Chains A and B, each alone.
Chain A
Amino acid sequence: MKTRDILGYAFGAIKMRKLRSALTTAGIIIGIAAIVALLSVTQGLEATLVSTFQQGLSANVLTVTGNNIPLYANYTNQIMAIPSVSQYITAASPVIAQAGYITNSSRSTLQVTIVGFNFTEVEEDYPAIFAYVEAGSIPLNPPDNAVVVGAKISNLNLNGTIFVNVGDPLYVTTQVPIANKTYIGNVTAVLKPVGFSYGGPSDTGVYIPINQAEKYFGTDQLSQIIVILKNSNNDTITKVSNAITNYFKGQVTVESSAAIISTIRSAISSTDVVVVGIAAISLLVAGVSIMNIMIVSTIERTREIGILKALGMKSRTVLTTFLCESAITGLIGALAGLGLGLGIANIIALVSPRDNAIQINGIGVKITPVLTPEMVILALVFGMGVSILFAVWPARRASKLEVVDALRYE
């Protein structure tokens, strides 16, 4: 019997028992939808996070933070002079960051992270940052009141509400103000939206000259040192990271954006394992119900099987016909599950908090569910695989029926 005829016969049998076929398929639909919905959300989250981290200037940047020791500005020179790796380092720049408030001329206040950095050094060693200026300019020799703000500080969450613009005054207060001093700043530049770039500019950052930060924060201890590398090769990153850690006898932590991204990836992929595991259990349940339905179906159709064999259908073809029925059911279930899963994923993305967003370092990150070709293949293979696997035994049983007995079956 030709494959096309076998498929046609199998499809006719499914059509004949629409309700039962639909209920059999339901198990597969639910299982596949669960896998697709959860995976496409986590994949979407991963893609969003990774692209957010990669959007800025971060690939060749390391950050050094002290574990138990305070960091000072002169450590930057020491880092640049570490003999084994100095040739890989372009610059090491101090950063002081503290939580604080900014108030605009209309007396609206936002809670933000205030970052002090060396404008001149950044201009010399990290020129790309100037490509990210949306309006105004970053002064080479900043006046004491210079403030550079991220895109979402100027244009709140990029929704058109202007909080502050170039030329506007901005009052910056640390959370623990020294003698209630407020830094009265003047916005000299607004950055373009860059997402969150590790060690580089951020959409929600507020930047002031480092000497002013020291003065207003009342400390010369650095929050971190940014090390800019000549390239972003993994080898270079590892070599320099290890050299700095060893130089400070393990009392500092050196992080790279590549390492952060790989941490995110591994965290999400371990979530995926759990998710797929749970969904696989639902597919197993679906498989058992398929087997049950197939056994009932083959018993009901004993006489039909007898007729087919009496007409000259080989046992192998009977087996194939029943497996095809199950495979078609599985395929329909997998396709419906894919659609339903993607629908559920989009609903999850829609109802997730704050304007379809999750929060990363104060920045709203939108999740766009991702359906990769691998997921489509996975869904189809799982859906059809489970259906076929659990149909093998009932189908074999059907194919081995003796013609005379099957024809006599009432």
Chain B
Amino acid sequence: MSKHVVQAEDLKKTYMLGKVPVEALKGVNLSVEAGEFLSILGPSGSGKSTLLNLIGALDKPTSGTLLIEDVDVSKLSDNQLTDLRAKIGFVFQFFNLIPRLTAKDNVELAMSIANTGKKERAKRAEQLLETVGLKDRMNHKPAELSGGQQQRVAIARALANEPRFMLLDEPTGNIDSKTAQEIIGIIKRVNADGVTVIMVTHDQRLAREAFRTVEVFDGMIGKHEVDHN
């Protein structure tokens, strides 16, 4: 296995918006090494979320090659893609928690989909929620939690199945700056534990928190690449 978790070559993605084809990615080349904390920076509509969706196996590329842990995503069946998703931790801008489930049940759901036993997942869910500082709120439903707390639940859920890499789509987009700092702190700790982190954002300050930043403009990776190390 190579040291790269993600390798994209000439990656293209075209959507149909009604009858009009929209080229969201126009040939992206990108590699991400294991253990990295990478931020993908770009304005709204630049294609950065599309890129993250492809890396997260939520979508298939139109053309080009995308290797995730040396597996060519475009050659996977829908079921294989689904299996791959269960091994990736995804954190969304709008949290995407199931409203009727408590924080703990939301975290457990990810594990029950991966066939983890009942006792084991209850124990792990409690541990993870404790790690993100929600020990006292684990039996609350999303509606009873603040935006920051919901995002912590989402991070705990993303870590539930011990993913090798975690993808974050504007993880602090809907929370205040103080809470955002706490969330970044958690993400850094996760990365320090060996999980590769890829974060999409339009916020330059947030992007600088990563060790490396690539910029996306108009469906292409910009020339501007910054190594923060």
Contacts and interface: CB of A to CB of B under 8 A. Distances in A.
Bind each other: yes
A407 B97 CA distance: 11
Contact of B82 (A12, A309, A407): A309
Interface string B36-58: 00000000000000000100101
Interface stretch (A26-34, A62-70, A312-320, A380-388): A312-320
A313 B85 CA distance: 9
Given A307-B96, A312-B86, A1 B112 contact: yes
Contacts of A9: 109, 112
Contact of B58 (A310, A314, A316, A317): A310
Interface string B88-100: 0010100011101
Nearest to B161: A312
B115 A310 contact: no
A59 to B, nearest CB: 61
A309 B57 CA distance: 11
Contacts of B98: 304, 307
Top 7 closest pairs, chain A to chain B, by CB: A312-B86, A5-B112, A312-B85, A16-B100, A403-B58, A311-B110, A307-B96
Contacts of A404: 53, 58-59
Contacts of B97: 307
A407 B96 contact: yes
Residue with the highest number of chain A CB atoms closer than 10 Å, among B85, B97, B115: B85
Contacts of A309: 82, 85
B2 interface: no
B166 to A, nearest CB: 13
Interface in A292-323: 303-304, 306-317
A13 interface: yes
A404 B56 CA distance: 11
B58 A407 contact: yes
Given A1-B115, A308-B113, A311-B86, A12 B100 contact: yes
A311 B85 contact: yes
A311 B112 CA distance: 10
A315 B82 contact: yes
B114 interface: yes
Interface in A1-33: 1-2, 5, 9, 12-13, 16
A313 B82 contact: yes
B59 A314 contact: no
A318 to B, nearest CB: 10
Q: Is the interface of A mostly helix, strand, loop or mixed?
A: helix
Interface string A377-410: 0000000000000000000000000111001000
Given A1-B115, A403-B58, A404-B59, A315 B96 contact: no
Contacts of A403: 58-59, 85
Interface in A51-91: none
Nearest to A313: B113
Contacts of A12: 100-101
Nearest to A304: B98
Interface residues of B, number: 26
A12 B112 CA distance: 14
B82 A314 contact: yes
Interface string B199-217: 0000000000000000000
B78 A2 contact: no
Residue with the highest number of chain A CB atoms closer than 10 Å, among B79, B96, B112, B113: B113
B81 to A, nearest CB: 9
A312 B110 contact: yes
B72 interface: no
Contacts of A316: 79
Given A312-B113, A313-B82, A403-B85, 9 more contacts: A13-B100, A303-B96, A307-B97, A308-B109, A310-B90, A312-B87, A312-B161, A403-B58, A404-B59
Contacts of B83: 312, 314
A262 to B, nearest CB: 57
Contacts of B161: 312
Contacts of B100: 12-13, 16
Residue with the highest number of chain A CB atoms closer than 10 Å, among B87, B96, B97, B101: B96
A303 B115 CA distance: 22
Interface in B149-201: 157, 161
Nearest to A16: B100
A350 B53 CA distance: 67
A316 B79 CA distance: 9
Contacts of B56: 310
Given A404-B53, A404-B59, A312 B96 contact: no
Contact of A315 (B78, B90, B92): B78
Given A12-B101, A312-B82, A404-B58, A1 B113 contact: yes
A16 B141 CA distance: 13
A311 B53 contact: no
A204 B134 CA distance: 82
A206 to B, nearest CB: 74
A403 B101 CA distance: 20
Residue with the highest number of chain A CB atoms closer than 10 Å, among B97, B112, B115: B112
B109 A314 contact: no
Contacts of A317: 113
Residue with the highest number of chain B CB atoms closer than 10 Å, among A307, A312, A314: A312
20 contacts: A1-B112, A2-B115, A9-B109, A12-B101, A13-B100, A306-B96, A307-B97, A308-B113, A310-B90, A310-B96, A311-B109, A312-B82, A312-B85, A312-B110, A312-B113, A314-B79, A315-B78, A317-B113, A403-B59, A407-B96
B160 to A, nearest CB: 9
